[in-house]
Structure 1
Amino acid sequence: MSWELLERTIYRLPEAPPRIRRAPMQVLCVGFPRTGTESLQQALIKLGYDYTYHGWDILFERPVSMPGWVGLARRKFKTHTRSRAVHGDCTITAAEFDVLLGHCTAVTDAAGSVFAAELIQAYPEAKVILNIRRDEEAWHQSACQSLVDQNSLGFWITSFFCAEMFWAWHVYQRFLWASLFRAQDGSLGRAIYGNGRWIYREHNDMIRGLVPAERLLEWSVEDGWEPLCMFLGKQVPEEEFPHANTRGEGFKERVDQITNLWVGTALRNMAITAVVVTAGVAIAYRHLR
């Protein structure tokens, strides 16, 4: 049975209604994960870009939008299958992005980095922020510690007993992060450890080449409000720049929060499955004696 068949049948979830765009997309933050993406999200919301989409929204949004992101990722990264093929290209239009992002005026984190080139093409009037960490080694260590830790065999096995957990695994571990880090053998951990640094540099260079200088800001969270506000034409807030989603605090708490919701459902379904299988084996044994 193929993954696509599982997605359409056993793990099918109610589809989130398409978002309606009421304001133009204004800011695309296309830097990699672990470059202050949640701090940047909070800062942009403070500056009036409400709503600014973040990778956490993919997991926490209700109704869930994960199937939609898997669909776009499959369009980009797995365009040749037994059922369809394209002619060596992938274009995702603003209308197609708006189904998931129509309520947003800015986007950062997962969607921003994984679909950077497509978003830049789809929203040519939006300003682009390349959020980076200037210490490449510190970025790589943070990515290895955070993203790799979630790539566990236990999570994968458990995901077959909870539909939302199944989609979370596929949206991040199978498509978004796995494709971004070129995990050709299916191991996200090995890909981040082995490919992380050069892919990080390659991605940043791609953005610099794609976006005209007047439309691009290269920014690090240490830069704070001033260059961000100058680029966006906003007044600098009096409050301190937000700092969120650190490895030891915010990130782990958010992961635990959503995982605990899924694990309870998965354990219940595992128990039901065990009871049904045991009963079926017992009945079959009695009839075959």
Structure 2
Amino acid sequence: MKVILAGYPKTGTKSIAKALTILGYDVYDYMEHFWYHGKQWENILTGNGNINDFREMYEDVDAITDTPVFYFWEEIHKMFPDSLIILTVRDEDAWIKSWCGQMHHLKTGIAFRLIWTFSPHGRSLHRYFDRHCIALFGFSLPYVWSAPHLNELLMRSRYRQHNLNVMQNAPKDKLLVYQVKDGWEPLCQFLGKPVPDLPFPTKNQGATVYKTLLKDNKILKQLHRETMVVGTLCCILGVFATYKICTGGRLSKCISFLYQAASRRCFHF
């Protein structure tokens, strides 16, 4: 472990994850935490894990970003004391507006809702997301079409407390307090890396996280394929069931066949 991103979500975490990748780091972001260590994180968030789990989870990873690792930056650093810590920050009003916009996007965007409904791994992703929303942010994520209730006062308080905690308790020689607008220079100087001849990446602007991940992230592509396959088979089942009902036929064999076909077609790496 070389780099721990301790910044709150919506402080440029997706941009930093991409920047670290460009600089040659193997990065675990939100989807990787879910896909590779979802069970361990569930144990940690429900009080059944311990600090030693972090070493097993991340000893072969260069950098970790986003939820839920930012909240446990101190415990993770104890396991990897040579790692560097980056605290991404932004203006509080801009941050809360962006955070609420992200939640609104999850509420109104059909893509994630379809994944949570039709993809087998997508339903696990929803449970994982809801678990750490309750534990870390103080709200639950409703399952399908209703909106999460956000306590803005609580979110602002937790944001300030978290940033202050990192700045007070992280080793000064291993901490960079950073804003994405500062670009490559302070980040590369801190990491001891040459500045790339590329524009600094800007990711998830306007809460476009689904489009960003679907383009770049193999795990979300997997969930997207599952959604397309299962959703299509459900549509076929619905049409066929309607036909059989109208013609008086039996459905049991047909339902069993389509269910088995859906299970076989859910792709794996």
**Are residues 118 and 276 of structure 1, via their aligned partners in 2, closer, same or farther at CA, if it must alter by over 3 Å?**
farther
**Equivalent residues, number:** 238
More helix by share: 2
User: In 2, Cα distance between the equivalents of 1:244 and 1:156?
Assistant: 21
Matched, 1:55 2:19: no
Pick one of 224, 228, 232 that aligns with 2:191: 232
User: In 2, Cα distance between the equivalents of 1:271 and 1:199?
Assistant: 44
Correspondence for 1:191: 150
User: In 2, Cα distance between the equivalents of 1:237 and 1:158?
Assistant: 36
Correspondence for 2:2: 26
Q: Quote the offset at 1:209 in angstroms.
A: 3.2
Are the equivalent residues in 2 in contact too, given 1:245–1:251 (CA < 8 A)? Answer: yes
Q: Quote the offset at 1:132 in angstroms.
A: 1.3
After TM superposition, list the pairs within 5 Å mapping 1:236-275 onto structure 2: 236-247=195-206, 250-254=208-212, 258=220, 260-268=224-232, 270-271=234-235
Correspondence for 1:120: 77
User: In 2, Cα distance between the equivalents of 1:40 and 1:153?
Assistant: 24
User: In 2, Cα distance between the equivalents of 1:242 and 1:124?
Assistant: 28
Q: Quote the offset at 1:266 in angstroms.
A: 3.9
After TM superposition, list the pairs within 5 Å mapping 1:199-238 onto structure 2: 199-238=158-197
Correspondence for 2:256: none
The residue matched to 1:196 in structure 2 has which SS? helix
Matched, 1:73 2:32: no
Q: Quote the offset at 1:152 in angstroms.
A: 6.6
Q: Quote the offset at 1:195 in angstroms.
A: 2.5
- Cα deviation per residue 1:199-255 (whole Å; 9 max; x = unaligned)? 11122122223311111111010111222122222233343322222116x524136
Correspondence for 1:162: 119
TM-score w.r.t. length of structure 1 = 0.68
Name whichever of 176-185 and 163-172 sits farther off.
176-185
Correspondence for 2:21: 45
Matched, 1:136 2:92: yes
TM-score w.r.t. length of structure 2 = 0.72
Q: RMSD of the TM alignment (CA)? A: 3.4
Are the equivalent residues in 2 in contact too, given 1:31–1:131 (CA < 8 A)? Answer: yes
After TM superposition, list the pairs within 5 Å mapping 1:89-104 onto structure 2: 90-98=50-58, 102=60, 104=61
Work out the percentage of aligned pairs sharing the same amino acid. 26
